[in-house]
Amino acid sequence: MHPGEIAALIAAGAFVMLVLVLAVPILRLRHTVDAATRAVNDLTDRTSPLIGDVDATVKAVNEALGQVHTTLDGVNLQLERLDTITGHAQTVTANVANLSTVVASAASSPLVRVASLTYGVRKAMANRRKADEEAEVRARLKEQRRAARRGSR
């Protein structure tokens, strides 16, 4: 055997040792990958029903939202009708207010005249009484002055 062949045998032995040393971590890595694969498969098996339930829930929510939309459309229609009714009620109220103003002015005009006449009559009577009282007071004062002049002479 030549020294090159011996070196080749040593190199081959070292290579075999290297393969054996690397084989152990690779086998352990294979067990880790298998465990990870089993965990992913188990997770998939467990989440599939949950995803199905979530899908059913989303469909139910979408159906409920469709019903709510239909209900809101009905409510909006009723609100439009209520707006129309409110507008008519506002018009009726304005008409009633105008009518009451007309009736009040028609009824109050004669009442104002009667009240004015009554006030005028009372004022005239009060002025007349006052004038009579003033005339009476003047007459008394005049008599007192005359009496005082006669008594001083």
- Measured in residues, the chain has a length of 153
Cα 127 from Cα 132, distance rounded (Å): 9
- Single-letter residue type at 4: G
Tens-digit pLDDT profile for residues 91-135: 999 989 888 888 777 776 777 778 888 888 999 999 999 999 999
Tens-digit pLDDT profile for residues 10-69: 999 999 998 888 888 888 899 999 999 999 999 988 888 888 889 999 999 999 999 999
Which pLDDT value is given to residue 108?
67
pTM: 0.39
Q: How far is CA 150 from the centre of its chain?
A: 97
- Single-letter residue type at 114: V
Q: Which helix (DSSP H) or strand (DSSP E) does residue 29 occupy? A: helix 3-152
Tens-digit pLDDT profile for residues 76-85: 999 999 999 9
Which pLDDT value is given to residue 153?
63
Which pLDDT value is given to residue 105?
75
Q: How far is CA 118 from the centre of its chain?
A: 58
